[in-house]
Structure 1
Amino acid sequence: MTRTRIFATLRIALALLVLVAVVVAVGRNWTQVSQDIRRVQPGQVLLAAALVCLAPLLTLLAWRRVLAELGSPLHLAPAGGVFFVGQLGKYLPGSVWSIVAQAEMGARLHIPRRRSAVVGLISIGLAAICGLLVGIPALPPLLSRNSTGSTGWVVVLAIPLLAVVFWPRLLNWGIALGLRLLRREPLEHRLSGRAVFASSAYLVGAWVCSGLHVLVLAHAVADRPVDGSRLLVATVGGFALASALSMFAVILPAGVGLREGILVLLLSPLISLSGATAVVVLARFLTILSDVLFALGGWVWARSHHLITTRADRLADPQLVVDDDLTPPHHG
C-alpha cells in the first residue's frame, strides 16, 4: 500500500470515528435534545434556513471576484455551476477535492487549471482569515468560559495582525513564491487591493449570516433569559471562529466534530448543554441541506452546459475536451 493510500485510509477512519463519537454523544442525550429541538417553531426554522442560504451566495461572489481579478470573469450562472458543485468536495476527507473539482469544470470554460487552483486556495485562505476576524470576540469567553470583558483588547491587538495578511503585495508575493516552489509558471495577473477588499467584505457577510442563523436557533431553544450580547458573541463570533478553526483540520470532512465541539463549549453556559447540542445538530443539518440544494442547482446547469461530462460524452464529441493552455475568453 502506497503512502498516499495509507494517509487516505487514516483520514477516512478518523472521519468515521469523529462521526460515530458525535452520534453517540447526541444519542445519549437524545431525550432532552429532542425536547429542545421541538421548541423551534417552523417560522424560526425558515428564518434560520434563509440566513444560512445567504452564506454560500456571498461566498460565491467572493470566489467569482478573485477569479475575475486573475483573468477569468464569469457570469453568475456558470460561476455558480462550477463553484457550488465543487463545494461538495469539502465533505470528503482531505483538503483539495473542492479545488480539483472546480479546476476540472472550469477547464471547460477555458479557465486554466492552474488559475482555478490558485483562486481556490486564495478563497479558502481569505475565508479562514475573515472567519477568524469575525470570531475574535468569541475567543475570550471560549478560553475563560465566564467573561467577555477582555474581548475589546483581543480585537484591538488582533486586527492589525490580520490586516497585514490582506496586504495585496504580500498576497501576490505569496502566490508567486508558491507557484515557483511548485515549478509552475507565474500568473498573468495580480490581485489588487480593491479585489481583496471586495472579496473579504463578501466573506465577512457570509460569516455573519451563518452566525445569525445560529443565533435564531439558540434563541428558540433557550429555556431561560439570556444576555443578548453574550449570546450574539457566542453565536455569530463563535460560529465563525469554530468554522475557521475547523478549516485547518483538513483530515476532517467539513470540520465535522470540531466545529460542533467549540460551539457547544460556547453555548452550553448560556442555554444548557442539551440546548447547545440541539442548536449544533440543527445548524449542521441546515448547512448540509443548503450545500446540497445549491450543488443540485449548480449540477443541473453544469450538466446541461457540458461542464460535467461522461466518458461517452467526450468520445462522442471531442470538442468537449478542453486544452488547459487555451487563452481564456472574456465571459463578462
Structure 2
Amino acid sequence: MGYRVVVVGATGNVGREIVNILAEREFPADEIAVLASSRSIGTEMEYGDTGRMLKVKNLDHFDFTGWDIALFAAGSEATRIHAPRAASQGCVVIDNSSLYRMDPDVPLVVPEVNPDAIAGYKARNIIANPNCSTAQMVVALKPLHDKAKIKRVVVSTYQSVSGAGKDGMDELFEQSRAIFVGDSVEPRKFTKQIAFNVIPHIDVFLDDGSTKEEWKMVVETKKILDPKIKVQATCVRVPVFVGHSESLNIEFENEISATEAQDILREAPGVMLVDKREDGGYVTPVEAVGDGATYISRVREDPTVENGLALWCVSDNLRKGAALNAVQIAELLGRRHLKKG
C-alpha cells in the first residue's frame, strides 16, 4: 500500500525535477496529482521514463483531503495561500520556498544532516526544504563538524542561473546569443548583464550590506547544523545554467588534517569525494548535473588560521538543492512517521 502524493508547481523547473525523481527513485506512490496555476490546466507531463502521463490540475480548486504528502515548488506567494490549506486538510506539506524555513514550529531538514528534526512536523504539518546553496554546504560540513567541531565558515558561492528559475536560464541563453551576433543586451531578470559576467547580488539587500541569500545561508546553517557556528557568505550569480559551486574556508575547534578530512568525506552520506591533485582532478558544475551527490574537491589545509581547511563543493542545485532533498524528506517521513501497510 503506497502513498497519495501531490506535486504543487509541477510545471516549473523544480516541480518537473520532483516528478522525475519520484519516478526515478520508485517512490511508493499509489496515486500522484500534479498541480499548477490555471494557465497550465490540462498540460500533460510524463512521469519520469515510465511512459505514464499525468494531467495538470488547478491548484486553486484542489482538495487535499485524503492525500498524504504535498511537495510544494510553487514560490512563496502561492505557498502562503495553499500550504496551510493543505496542512489543515491532513496532508503533510514539504515546502521548497523560503516562507517557513525560520519558523520555530517548522523543521528545516536535510536528511543526511538532521533527520531527527523531522519529528517536529506535527506542530504545523509542514516541513521546510532549505535554500539550495545551504543544502549542499551542510551536507559537506556535517561529517567534519562531527569530527572536529566547526567554529567558523567563510563561503563564496558561484550560483547558476537556474536558481532564478526558467526566466534566469532564458536570459543567459538570450544574452549569450545576442552578444555573439552583435545585438544589444538588456537585463530583465538580473540587475546586470549575466552572460560572460558575474553578479555579486542574489535576492534583496539588507541594512547591513549583505543580501538575503547570504543571510539565508547564515541562519539556515545555524538551524540545521549548530547555532554556535559563525558563517560569513558572499553569494554570486555566474553564467552557468545548472549547478552551484562553493569555495569553503572552515575553522575548527579541534585539529583535523586534510588527509583526515578526505577519509571522512569519502565515507560520508550524500558526499562524493573527487580530489586528485592533478589537471582535471576535481568536479565542475557540468559534471554534477543530473546527479544527486554533493561533490567535494580541492581539500587542503588553510595555514592562515589554527585548525583550518579549505575545500571546493559542487552540486546540482535543482536536485540536491531542491527536488531531491524534498523527495528524500518524503522518504524519511514515510519510513518514520507515515508507514503504510
TM-score (norm 1): 0.25
Higher helix fraction: Structure 1 or Structure 2?
1
TM-score (norm 2): 0.24
Higher strand fraction: Structure 1 or Structure 2?
2
